[in-house]
Each structure stands twice: as C-alpha cells, then as structure tokens.
Amino acid sequence: MKLQDNIREAKQKKGILLMTHIVLGYPSFEVNRAVIGQMVDKGVDLIEMQIPFSEPMADGPVIVKANQDSLANGTRLADCLDFAGEMAATHKIPFLLMTYYNILFKYGLEKFCRKTADLRIKGFIIPDLPPEEGAEYLGYCRQYGLAPIFIYAPTSTPARMRELARYGEGFIYCVARRGVTGSQTTFGREFAEYMAQCRASTELPLAVGFGIRNRDDVNAVKGRAEIAVIGSETIRLVDAEGASAVGPFIAGLR
C-alpha cells in the first residue's frame, strides 16, 4: 500500500493525524528509543527521523543544535540506518527519513534507496533537493517503492505547487510560514488562504509543520490538512524535562 493510502485510511479514524520529528542520536539513541516508544504508545501516526547533518539549512536553532550535538557525540550514518530499521521493525506505523542531499549523494543514491527500502522505511524528506535536480533520486524512489516528499512554502506560486505535486508521493509537507523550524506560527486568515491554495494544487494528503506547539495549533490545522507535524517542541521538552515528559505531551495534542 502506498504511503498516501496509509494516510487516508488512518485519517478516516481520526480528525487529524500527528507526525513527530526526532534527530537521530540526540541526545542519544537510547533516549530516541524511549521517546519513540512513548510517541507510538500515545497515538502518533507517523515519525520523521532526521539523519544529522553539519549544515541543516531548513532547520531552526533547536534542531540545528540537536544535529550538531549528535554529530559531536559520534553519530554515524550506519548507526542511524541500523536504528531506523530497528524502529520500523518494532513499531507498526510509517517511518520516514529526513536529511540533506549530500548524505544520499555520498552514500550512493541507489544503495541508499535500496538499503532504506529493505529497512521498511516509507519515504524521504530532502529539503535541499528540488525535483529538477533529482531525476536519478526520483527514479530510485519509484524502483524501490519509496515516497519522495516535497515541500510547499508560503512563497510557492500555484504553478510551482502543481509542479512539485507532479513529482511527489505520500503527502506534501506544507511549511506554515516563512523562515526555519521552531518559531511560533500564527494561524490566521493568511494561513487559511495559503492552505486553500495548497489543497487546490494537489490530490495528495497535506501535512503542516513549522511552529506547531500545542493542542490549539493542532486544532487550527484540523480541517485544512491531514497531518499536523510537531518537531522542535518535543526536542525542547526532552531537553527541559526528560524523555518521560513526551508521552503526556503527545496525549494532550488531540
């Protein structure tokens, strides 16, 4: 079953789906394991696992620091792939990998896609790879049944949105505002108009991220998208209160 079909099937049972984000190896794989267990136990529907990179250009200070600390602690790509495979085998929800193109390029595109498909990863979010430069990547995604997920932004034109949707699978990631991850987002008239344009531009499910921090934010997305994405907030929570705080936080979002 394609990822978009998994999402539509799950959406029939819930008002909105939740996708969370973790940085692999931060603060440790042991903590990652505990946090993911709590997330799944409290009903998270998809999890985006970020392979740390030295220059995470789409990310804000919280996630940038997590990337830097993970790398400083010695996290290797092989560690990330082993852990990703363990999580996909342990928990029966879709797992995605998020990273930057240099990781795939250095590893080898076909090798990376074949390996992650064998690990039962469902797809990729690669923010710095536009489809016009990703023909080989897209071909291997098709060959190995992986969803290449593309990103809409408030600055995207309707024509650009339609073009990205033509290449995408799984869902479209709709950035809720200009800038990087982690800052507060206002869900007002401008956001509603933007989401209406996103919806008109694709038949794929929509996910909304950047600045979703609480139940009110999740409710603001409900009815406009299939998925609300919570990223920096769970990292802040683990930093401040420890892994055990994640479960109650997730339970209170819907």
CATH number of 3-251: 3.20.20.70
Give dist(CA 168, CA 149) in Å, integer: 5
- State residue 188's pLDDT score: 75
- State residue 181's pLDDT score: 46
**Of the residues 5, 41, 48, 128, which is catalytic?**
48
Give yes or no for a contact between 212 and 5, defined as CB atoms under 8 angstroms apart: no
Give dist(CA 226, CA 96) in Å, integer: 16
Name the strand (E) or helix (H) holding 237: helix 232-241
- State residue 185's pLDDT score: 52
Give yes or no for a contact between 206 and 227, defined as CB atoms under 8 angstroms apart: yes
**Of the residues 41, 55, 59, 233, which is catalytic?**
59
Does the annotation mark 48 as catalytic? yes
Does the annotation mark 128 as catalytic? no
Q: What is the pTM of this model?
A: 0.93
Nearest 10 degrees: Cα torsion 27, 33, 36, 42: -120
pLDDT in tens, the chain (254 residues): 899 999 999 999 998 999 999 999 999 999 999 999 999 999 999 999 999 999 888 788 899 999 999 999 999 999 999 999 999 999 999 999 999 999 999 999 999 999 999 999 999 999 999 999 999 999 999 999 999 999 999 999 999 999 999 999 999 999 986 544 444 456 778 889 999 999 999 999 999 998 888 999 999 999 999 999 998 899 999 999 999 999 999 999 98
- State residue 171's pLDDT score: 98
- State residue 179's pLDDT score: 42
